[in-house]
Amino acid sequence: MMLRHASHYGLKYIFVHDPYYEPLVSFAGWKQVESYDSGAITVWSREDIPPARPIPSDAMPTALEGLLWGTLPLASSILAILFAFLIPDRTLARSEILLSFPDREQEGVLMREAR
């Protein structure tokens, strides 16, 4: 039914991957325009459908919301990467503090014959 009433939905082009549906699409008034992948995928169109038009809605975001939607996801990813590289790992920092290696002078000589 959606293909038969395509003008109501603003549907101008469809892609068909299964040849079983091609007679049904043709019967609904669609014309084949192009085929891709050696005929495996076909593009169908109807000329009597007008181009898509904007739908007036009161749910449109403001300019500030559009700016935030475009910048915050990328900015938060970059900030997380910066934090991962700039903030040291606390367990690694603690292990470096706890490890102390003895000086060579405090060790003393174990075997005089070995050189």
C-alpha angle with apex 92: 73 to 86, nearest 5 degrees? 35
Domain boundaries, the chain: 6-45, 63-98
C-beta separation of 53 from 37 below 8 A = no
- Tell me the pLDDT tens digit for each residue of 53-65: 777 888 888 999 9
- Tell me the pLDDT tens digit for each residue of 56-114: 888 888 999 999 999 999 999 999 999 988 887 766 666 655 556 666 565 556 666 65
Which residues, 6 or more positions from 109, have their beta carbon under 8 angstroms from its beta carbon? none
pTM of the model: 0.47
pLDDT mean over 2-14: 84
- Tell me the pLDDT tens digit for each residue of 19-31: 999 999 998 889 9
